[in-house]
C-alpha cells in the first residue's frame, strides 16, 4: 500500500472517529482487542478527543487500510455512516465468512446524528 494512502487512512481515522467507530475491520485484529476500524489506526485519545497515541497495526495491514480508504472515499462523497457500513460489510463479507473474523463493531443508529 502506498505511504500516502496509509497516511490518509490515519488522518481520516483521527479526524472522523464518529464514522470509523461504526466501521468494522476484517483482518482478525479483534483478537488484539480492536472493536472497529478506528482502533487499527488510533490507540488513545485525551478528554478533548485529541489523538495521544497511534496504533502501528495500520501501517502493515492492507485490509485495515483498504477498509479505511473505502470509508473515507464514501464519506467524502456524502454517504451516510449506515451506507458506508453496509457497503464495507458487503465487500468484505467473503473474508468474514471464510476466516470467521470481524470486529465487534456497533451498528450506527438510523436517522440519528450518527447516520
* CA distances from residue 34 to 54, 110, 115 in whole angstroms, order as listed: 13, 24, 22
Q: What is the pLDDT of residue 112?
A: 45
Write out pLDDT tens, residues 54-71. 999 999 999 999 999 999
Looking at residue 47, what DSSP letter applies? T
C-alpha cell at 54: 497511534
Q: What is the pTM of this model?
A: 0.87
State mean pLDDT over 99-114. 71
Average model confidence (pLDDT) across the chain: 90
Q: What is the pLDDT of residue 59?
A: 95
State mean pLDDT over 16-26. 95
* CA distances from residue 18 to 36, 37, 80, 94 in whole angstroms, order as listed: 11, 11, 11, 26
Provide the 3-class DSSP secondary structure of residue 113: coil
State mean pLDDT over 8-14. 98
pLDDT band at residue 113, thresholds of 50, 70 and 90?
very low
- From the number of C-beta atoms within 10 Å of its C-beta (0-12, 13-18, 19+), residue 95 rates as middle
Asked whether the predicted pLDDT for residue 81 surpasses 60, the reply is: yes
C-alpha cell at 81: 455512516
pLDDT band at residue 111, thresholds of 50, 70 and 90?
low
C-alpha cell at 58: 495500520
Amino acid at each position: 500500500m502506498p505511504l500516502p494512502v496509509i497516511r490518509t487512512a490515519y488522518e481520516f481515522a483521527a479526524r472522523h472517529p464518529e464514522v470509523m467507530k461504526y466501521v468494522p475491520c476484517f483482518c482478525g485484529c479483534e483478537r488484539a482487542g480492536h472493536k472497529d476500524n478506528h482502533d487499527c489506526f488510533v490507540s488513545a485519545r485525551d478528554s478533548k478527543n485529541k489523538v495521544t497515541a497511534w496504533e502501528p497495526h495500520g501501517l502493515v495491514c492492507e485490509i485495515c487500510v483498504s477498509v479505511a480508504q473505502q470509508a473515507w472515499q464514501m464519506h467524502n462523497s456524502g454517504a451516510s455512516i449506515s451506507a458506508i457500513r453496509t457497503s464495507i460489510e458487503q465487500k468484505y463479507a467473503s473474508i468474514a465468512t471464510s476466516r470467521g473474523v470481524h470486529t465487534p463493531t456497533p451498528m450506527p443508529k438510523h436517522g440519528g446524528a450518527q447516520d
